[in-house]
Chains A and B, each alone.
Chain A
Amino acid sequence: MFWTNVKRIVRTGFFNFWRNGTVSLASVLTMIVTLLVIGFIIMGSAVLKTSLDELRNKVDINITFIPKAAEEDVLSIKHSLETLPEVARVEYTSKEAVLEQFKERHADDQAILAALDELNQNPFGAALNVKAKDPSQYQSVANFLQGKSALPNTGLTIIDQVNYYQNKTAIDKLTSIITAADKLGLVLALAFIILSVITAFNTIRLTIYISRDEIGVMRLVGASTAYIQGPFIVVGMIYGLMAGILTLVILAPITYWLGHITENFFIGFNVFLYYLHNLPQIFLIIILGGLFIGAISSVLAIRKYLKV
C-alpha cells in the first residue's frame, strides 16, 4: 500500500507540474533567481577568501640581526619563534645570502658594489622572515622578540631591527579591513540567501494558494494529509530540480565571461576555473538547495489549507 501511494503521489506531482505549465514556469524562474544568488555567493566568497588570503600572506615581519650575531644564536631564536603557537613559519637567511641578495638587487649600480668591495667584510647580519597564522598575531610575536627569552646567553641583544614597528599601522589597518570584509561578506551572504529563499517560498505559496479550494475538496472526500500534501511536495521538488539544473547551465557562460575579469582584478583568481574545479560540490549545493527549498516551501505553505 505504501509504495502504491508513493507511486500515485509522484505521478500526480508530475501531472500537476506539467498541466500547470505557466505557474510551473514562473516558479522555476523565481527559483533560478534564488539559486543563482546562492551560486554567486559561493563564487563571491571564494573570490573574497582568495583575496584575503593573498593579503594575509603579504603581511610578514622581518628581523635583521647585527652582523656580529653568531649563526647558532640566530638559529636558536628561529627555533624559539617556531615553538610559538601564533607562528606559521620562519625563514632563515644567512648573512652571506643577504649579501648575495643585496648584490643581485644592485647589480646595475657599480658605485654601491665598489663600496661593498672596499669594506672587505660583510656589513649585513642574518635575517629571519616570520609569517604568523593571522595578521593580528604579529603584535605578540614582536612582544616575544622584545622579551628576554629571545636573547642569547650573553644578555646582549643581537637583534638589529624588527620591521613590525615600522609597518605596525599598515598591518593593523590591513587586519581590521580583513576582519571587516570577512564579517561583511558573511552578513551580506546570509541576507541575500534569506531574501531569495523568502522570494521562492512566496512564489510556491502563491501556487498553493491557487489550489486552496482543491485542497478543501480533497479533505472532504477523505484524503489523508500525506496524500494531499505529497504531490505538492513533489511539484516543489521538481521546481527545485529543474531550477537547479538550469542554474548550473546558466552559471557556466556567466562565470566564463567573468573569469578574465576576476583573473585580472583578484590576483589571478579565475572564477570560471573555480566553477569547473568545484563543479561536483556546487552541483550538490545548488541541486540539494533547490530540492530542499522547494519541498520545505510546499510543506509550510500547504499547512494553512489542510485545517478543514
Chain B
Amino acid sequence: MIFFDRVTKVYPDSSVALQNVTFSIEPKEFVSIVGQSGAGKTTILKMLLAEEHPTEGQVFYESTDVHQLNKREINDFRRRIGMVFQDFRLLPDKTVYENIAFTMEASGRPDEEIAADVPHVLELVDLHDKAWNFPNELSGGEKQRVAIARALVNQPDIIVADEPTGNLDPVNTYDVVQILKKINDLGTTVILTTHNKGIIDSLGHRVIAMEKGKIIRDDKEGKYFI
C-alpha cells in the first residue's frame, strides 16, 4: 500500500534527515514509528503527504509515486489520508463542528452529507456536546479528539498521527490510543509516531525504530527499545 524506496532527504544546510530508508506498509496495518527527536519520524510523514520532496528515492502510494502528482492530484490524495498532529492544528476561528465540516467541504461533499456525518463522528469521539465550542474553549484531550474526528470524517484509507499524545496527560493519552485502535479495528491503516514507551508496549503491533535518519529495527510485534 505504502512503499518507501531508498528514500534520502538532505536539507539545504546539509543536515541529513533520512538516509536510504526502505520499508512498506500493508493495508489495515497499525505501524508505530519510534525514535528520539531528530531521528527522522516526522520527515517520513511529510514525505508521505508530499509536503517535502525526497533528495533521492521514491515514495509510492499503491502504484503512484506521490511526488509525481500535480497540485490537484495532491489535494485528492491528501483527502485519502487523515492527519493528526501533536499540536492539534485546529482552525481557531471555527467551531468544533466547522473544523470537522471544513474537511468535508474541502472534498466537495454535499451539505446533507456533512449534516449527517459530522454529528456521527463527534459521537464517536464523545464530543457531541462540544460541537459549537471554539478550540480555545477545549482541553488538550478534547482538542486532540476533535483532530481525530476531523481526520476520520472523510473515511480515509490511512490515519497518520504525528506524536498525537505528546501534549496530553496519561488519561487522555489512553483515550486517544483507544480511539486509534478502534479505528484500526474498523479497517483503517494507522501510522503513529511517538516517544511514549507505554503506548508501544501496550499496542503489540509493528514497530519501526529509527535513529539518525536510518531504520535500525523493524519488528512485527515490537516493544519500545532503541
Kindly state whether residue A1 has any CB partner on chain B within 8 Å: yes
Contact of B102 among A5, A213, A218, A224 (CB under 8 A): A218
Q: Looking at the complex, which one of A213, A214, A221 makes contact with B83 (CB distance below 8 Å)?
A: A221
Does B91 count as interface, using CB distance less than 8 angstroms? Answer: yes
- Separation of A4 and B72 alpha carbons in the complex (Å): 19
Query: Which stretch in B106-114, B168-176, B179-187, B203-211 binds the other chain?
Result: B106-114
Q: Find residues 1-38 in chain A having any chain B CB closer than 8 Å to their own CB.
A: 1, 4-5, 8, 15-16, 19-20
B219 at the interface (CB under 8 A from A): no
**29 A-B Cβ contacts within 8 A?**
A4-B108, A4-B110, A4-B111, A5-B108, A15-B93, A15-B94, A16-B93, A213-B89, A214-B91, A214-B93, A216-B89, A218-B106, A219-B78, A220-B78, A221-B83, A221-B102, A221-B150, A222-B75, A222-B76, A222-B77, A222-B78, A222-B79, A222-B103, A222-B107, A223-B75, A223-B102, A224-B72, A224-B75, A224-B106
A8 contacts which of B83, B91, B93, B105 (Cβ < 8 Å)? B105
**Which residues on the A side are within 8 Å of B90 (C-beta)?**
217
Residues of chain A within 8 A of B105, CB atoms compared = 8, 227
Say whether A225 faces chain B, with CB atoms less than 8 Å apart: yes
The answer to whether B106 and A227 touch across the interface, beta carbons within 8 angstroms, is yes
Question: Interface size on B (CB < 8 Å)?
Answer: 25
Q: Which residues of A contact B111 (CB under 8 A)?
A: 4
Within 8 A of B (CB), among A162-182: none
Contact assessment for A222 and B89 in the assembled complex, using a CB-CB cutoff below 8 Å? no
* Distance of A216 Cα from B83 Cα, bound (Å): 12
Instruction: Specify which chain B residues have a CB less than 8 angstroms from the CB of A107 in the assembled complex.
Output: none
Is A308 part of the binding interface, using a Cβ–Cβ cutoff of 8 Å?
yes
Within the assembled complex, what's the spacing in Å between the Cα atoms of A8 and B108? Answer: 10
Chain B residues with Cβ under 8 A from A214's Cβ? 91-93
A217 close to B93 (CB less than 8 A)? no
Where the two chains meet, the residues of B that have a C-beta atom closer than 8 Å to any C-beta of A are 49, 51, 71-72, 75-79, 83, 89-94, 102-103, 105-108, 110-111, 150
> If the complex has contacts A19-B93, A213-B89, are A1 and B108 also in contact, measured as CB distance less than 8 A?
yes
| A-side contacts of B92, CB under 8 Å | 214
Q: Find the A residue at minimum CB distance from B76.
A: A222
Within 8 A of B (CB), among A256-270: none
Which chain A residues lie closer than 8 Å to B78 at the CB level? 219-222
Q: What sequence of 0s and 1s flags, for each residue 198-226 of chain A, a beta carbon within 8 Å of any chain B beta carbon?
A: 00000000000000011011111111110
* Closest 8 pairs (CB-CB, A-B): A223-B106, A222-B79, A222-B78, A217-B89, A221-B103, A222-B75, A19-B93, A214-B91
Measured CB to CB, the nearest residue on chain A to B89 is: A217
- Complex Cα distance A16/B91, Å? 11
